Amino acid sequence: MKIKTVDGLELYAHREGVGERTIMLLNGVGVSTFFWKYLRTYFNHRYQMIIWDYRGHGRSDQPKEIASFRFHHLLEDLSTIFQFFKLEQAILIGHSMGAALALDYASKFPRRVSAIVSVLGSYEHMLSELFHFRHSGTVFQILNAVNRQFPGKFNSIWRHLGKLPINYAMAKLTVVNGDFCKKEDMDSYFKHLSSMNFDFFMKALSECQKHSSRKKLSRIKCPTLIIGGDKDNFTPIRKSFEMYELIRGAELMVIPNGSHAAVVEQPEIICLRIEKFLRENEERRLKERR
């Protein structure tokens, strides 16, 4: 279904599953809802699940003025999703950038968020340590400045790059764990990524790089589970440990050999840990009511 935003765009959203509690799934930048397919299958017979595409992603509209896009638009869009489905409260599970969105939303609307799960996420400056290179943020800024000088010029190249037959092999060498990641899952990723407007993708990455939730972490009061991968080349495991220390009462799980795509590589261990986290917090909540 399509949901209209406050500034007139249409967002794709879908609700499925059964249960009294709702899980809201928050994608990473450049990713659509397909990365949640294993988690949805695991939880949708016990929870209502809501998936949606950010503006400029998947089946949602792209802003007409790309340069005007800001991270706070995602917060506004998330509120729109809450209002449309008449949600008083939800569990937020965010992958990569989706974790920062969950943290910001919980700090701004604490009563609407019953729990947070950060899956391979970070809370600030998400491009600063790509592949553990401390100057990666500077390299991105240079590339982004070049792209801004030639708007629209790289879109056709971008579309072709996403269709190269060597993409999966390259991903196994650099980003994903080749022992666990299925080609079909990465094919979905590359297909979606190449369908995005390159200028908007770069703008979204720029907003991720500028964004920081550090000052808001002390305001997170709801139960929080942080899941990191010890082989994550996008959001180093150090970021997970930092969040664990900055969020009072947070829980932490480290996935052995977990890459940034562990949500599709090792979904069983992730789903089991989330299930345990949600069950224990529900039992605690019910006990406090007595």
Question: Which residue pairs, CB below 8 angstroms and at least 24 apart, start in 109-115?
Answer: 109/79, 110/219, 110/221, 110/222, 112/82, 112/87, 112/88, 113/89, 113/222, 114/21, 114/89, 114/90, 114/222, 114/223, 114/281, 115/91, 115/222, 115/223, 115/224, 115/225, 115/277, 115/278, 115/281
- pLDDT on residue 139: 92
Summarize pLDDT for 11-57 with one digit per residue, the tens.
Answer: 999 999 999 999 999 999 999 999 999 999 999 999 999 999 999 99
Q: Where are the domains of the chain?
A: 2-289
How far is residue 193's CA from residue 105's CA, in Å, rounded to a whole number?
Answer: 26
Cα dihedral 272, 276, 282, 288, rounded to 10, equals 180
Burial 266-287 (b: 16+ CB within 10 A, else e): bbeebbebbeebbeebeeeeee
- pLDDT on residue 245: 97
Summarize pLDDT for 58-115 with one digit per residue, the tens.
Answer: 999 999 999 999 999 999 999 999 999 999 999 999 999 999 999 999 999 999 999 9
pTM for this entry: 0.96
The CA-atom distances, in angstroms, between 263 and each of 194, 196, 228 are 21, 22, 10
- pLDDT on residue 288: 80
* CATH class label, 2-289: alpha beta
- pLDDT on residue 162: 84
How far is residue 237's CA from residue 273's CA, in Å, rounded to a whole number?
Answer: 17
Grade residue 266 by pLDDT with cuts at 50, 70 and 90.
very high
pLDDT above 80: residue 290: no
- pLDDT on residue 92: 98
CA 142 to chain centre: 25
- pLDDT on residue 173: 86
DSSP 124: B
Summarize pLDDT for 118-141 with one digit per residue, the tens.
Answer: 999 999 999 998 888 888 999 999
- Pairing type for strands 22-26 and 48-52 reads parallel
